[in-house]
């Protein structure tokens, strides 16, 4: 039973690990392979600061809220494990700021210590009239992706550095199931007009005195189009750009100035921070995550595809919940192919 994962970002690698953990013991013939044209540190995931935080509203998409919760709880359980440092996992607290009152978010009871900001705290942020304080998690992909890769390699999973041109290409090589975690490039494998880039740009600086994340919100401009400051274990990420439909991965000077000026206004002490590097990437945005099975038939070639892409700017936040859901889909495929014994029924 050959399962090929396309994509080695946070979605691809975590799904691969989840599948292997769940089915390796149950399906002795399971062979897992990962195909990708980019590996860490060159994936979209590597550009993300790594803050666990969903968007303000789930737009009634309860499924995604549950996957977010599953991910947070999973990571929290690993916080005290010896692996946490190697995974790039740690607790972080901080501020979400608004210029007008907003309803509490879907994730207020998922994070720790969620509360409104006091008037004295708001003095720190002139121009913002209300906000939240909470404790969340950071998961830095420049550590997490290599950690996942090591776990997978230890388990005998094989990696192939190549761009897969079509699902058929893999089926013709004898792959039984494809797990499509191709993120922004999913459209190359199968057209999907709902998948659009949400271009982001960030500036990485050295500002080790910043211990809190600060995410501002401008309800008119939309998510991530307002300055944010996220301190990592080594660098602090400054950002606040979300350009729907923009495919450019080149750093833009106007965006740089906008990010720098607005972040320095938010936190004046950043003026003394040393700029280390700059990066642009494309959030694989979709009205909802595509997480579903599809049977592909072309001539005499046939195979199952499990799609797991379109996580926008919340891939890290939702990744484990999606990996578990993808594993459940594989479980039903395996049952159908009689690779997995059906649950024992009542004796007649």
Partner 1 sequence: MASPKVAVVGAGVIGLSTALCITETCPSCSVTILSDQFSPNTTSDVAAGMLIPHTYPDTPIHRQRQWFKETFTYLFAISNSAEASEAGIHLVSGWQVFKSTPKEELPFWSDIVLGFRPMSEAELQKFPHHQFGQAFTTLKCDCPAYLLWLEKRLKASGAQMYTRKVADLWELHSEYNVVVNCTGMGAHQLLGDKELFPVRGQVLKVHAPWVKHFIRDGDGLTYIYPGIHRVTLGGTREKGSWSRSPDPDTTRDIFDRCCSLEPSLQGAQDIEMKVGLRPSRQCVRVQREVLSQGGVKLPVVHNYGHGAGGFSVHRGTANEAAHLVAECISALQGSSSRAKL
Q: Does 90 bind partner 1 (CB under 8 A)?
A: yes
In whole angstroms, how close is the CB of 270 to partner 1 at the nearest point? 9
Q: Which of 41, 42, 59, 118 contacts partner 1 by CB under 8 A? A: 118
Q: Which of 24, 61, 74, 93 contacts partner 1 by CB under 8 A? A: 93
Q: Does 247 bind partner 1 (CB under 8 A)?
A: no
Size (the chain), residues:
348
Non-local CB neighbours of 321 within 8 Å, separated by 6+ positions: 66, 67, 68, 69, 70, 71
| β-strand pairing of 89-98 with 112-116 | unpaired
Question: What is the C-alpha to C-alpha distance for residues 204 and 222, in angstroms, rounded to an integer?
Answer: 22
Q: Does 156 bind partner 1 (CB under 8 A)?
A: no
Q: Is 239 annotated as a binding residue?
A: no
Q: Are 211 and 230 in contact (CB under 8 A)?
A: no
Q: What are phi and psi of 46, to 5 degrees?
A: -65, -25
Q: Does 74 bind partner 1 (CB under 8 A)?
A: no
Q: Which of 186, 207, 229, 329 contacts partner 1 by CB under 8 A? A: 207
Q: Does 99 bind partner 1 (CB under 8 A)?
A: no
Angle (nearest 5°) at CA 130 between 53 and 240: 45
Q: Does 130 bind partner 1 (CB under 8 A)?
A: no
Applying CB under 8 A, which part among 153-161, 195-203, 205-213, 306-314 lies near partner 1? 205-213
Q: Does 275 bind partner 1 (CB under 8 A)?
A: no
Placement of tokens 């690698």 in the chain: 13
Question: What is the C-alpha to C-alpha distance for residues 263 and 190, in angstroms, rounded to an integer?
Answer: 39
In whole angstroms, how close is the CB of 158 to partner 1 at the nearest point? 30
In whole angstroms, how close is the CB of 72 to partner 1 at the nearest point? 11
Non-local CB neighbours of 148 within 8 Å, separated by 6+ positions: 13, 14, 16, 17
Phi/psi class of residue 199: alpha, beta or left (left: φ > 0; alpha: ψ in -120 to 50)?
A: beta
Q: Which is nearer to partner 1, 177 or 273 (CB)?
A: 273
Question: What is the C-alpha to C-alpha distance for residues 187 and 113, in angstroms, rounded to an integer?
Answer: 40
Applying CB under 8 A, which part among 27-35, 48-56, 208-216, 312-320 lies near partner 1? 208-216
Q: Which of 2, 24, 99, 124 contacts partner 1 by CB under 8 A? A: 124
Applying CB under 8 A, which part among 4-12, 21-29, 132-140, 163-171 lies near partner 1? 132-140
Q: Does 245 bind partner 1 (CB under 8 A)?
A: no
In whole angstroms, how close is the CB of 280 to partner 1 at the nearest point? 26
Angle (nearest 5°) at CA 115 between 112 and 116: 155
Placement of tokens 């910043």 in the chain: 210
Phi/psi class of residue 116: alpha, beta or left (left: φ > 0; alpha: ψ in -120 to 50)?
A: beta
Q: Which residues does the annotation place in the binding site for D-serine?
A: 228, 283, 313
Binding-site ranges for partner 1 (CB under 8 A): 79-82, 84-85, 88, 90-93, 112-113, 115, 117-118, 120-121, 123-124, 133, 135, 138, 207-212, 231, 233-234, 268-269, 271-273
State the binding site for FAD.
44-45, 49-51, 164, 312-317
């Amino acid at each position: 039973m050959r399962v090929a994962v396309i994509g080695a970002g946070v979605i691809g690698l975590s799904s691969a690990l989840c599948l292997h953990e769940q089915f390796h013991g149950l399906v002795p013939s399971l062979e897992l392979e990962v195909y990708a044209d980019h590996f860490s540190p060159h994936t979209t995931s590597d550009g993300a600061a790594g803050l666990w935080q969903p968007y303000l509203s789930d737009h009634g998409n309860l499924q995604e809220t549950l996957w977010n919760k599953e991910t947070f709880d999973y990571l929290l359980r690993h916080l005290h494990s010896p692996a946490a440092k190697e995974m790039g996992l740690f607790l972080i607290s901080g501020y979400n700021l608004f210029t007008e009152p907003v309803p509490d978010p879907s994730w207020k009871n998922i994070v720790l210590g969620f509360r409104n900001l006091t008037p004295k705290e708001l003095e720190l942020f002139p121009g913002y009239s209300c906000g939240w304080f909470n404790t969340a998690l950071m998961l830095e992909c420049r550590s997490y992706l290599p950690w996942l890769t090591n776990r997978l390699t230890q388990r005998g999973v094989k990696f192939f550095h190549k761009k897969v041109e079509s699902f058929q290409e893999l089926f013709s090589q004898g792959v039984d199931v494809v797990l499509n975690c191709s993120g922004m490039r999913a459209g190359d494998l199968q057209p999907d007009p709902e998948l659009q880039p949400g271009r982001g740009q960030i500036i990485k600086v050295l500002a080790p005195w910043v211990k809190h994340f600060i995410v501002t919100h401008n309800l008119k401009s939309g998510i991530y189009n307002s300055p944010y400051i996220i301190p990592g274990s080594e660098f602090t990420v400054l950002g606040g750009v979300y350009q729907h439909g923009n495919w450019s991965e080149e750093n833009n000077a106007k965006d740089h100035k906008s990010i720098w000026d607005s972040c320095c206004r938010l936190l004046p002490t950043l003026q003394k921070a040393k700029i280390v590097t700059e990066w642009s990437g494309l959030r694989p945005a979709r009205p909802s995550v595509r997480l579903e099975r599809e049977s592909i038939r072309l001539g005499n070639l046939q195979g199952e595809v499990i799609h797991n892409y379109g996580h926008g700017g919340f891939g890290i936040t939702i990744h484990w919940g999606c990996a578990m859901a993808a594993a459940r889909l594989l479980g039903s495929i395996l049952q159908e192919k009689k690779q997995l014994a059906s649950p024992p029924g009542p004796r007649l």
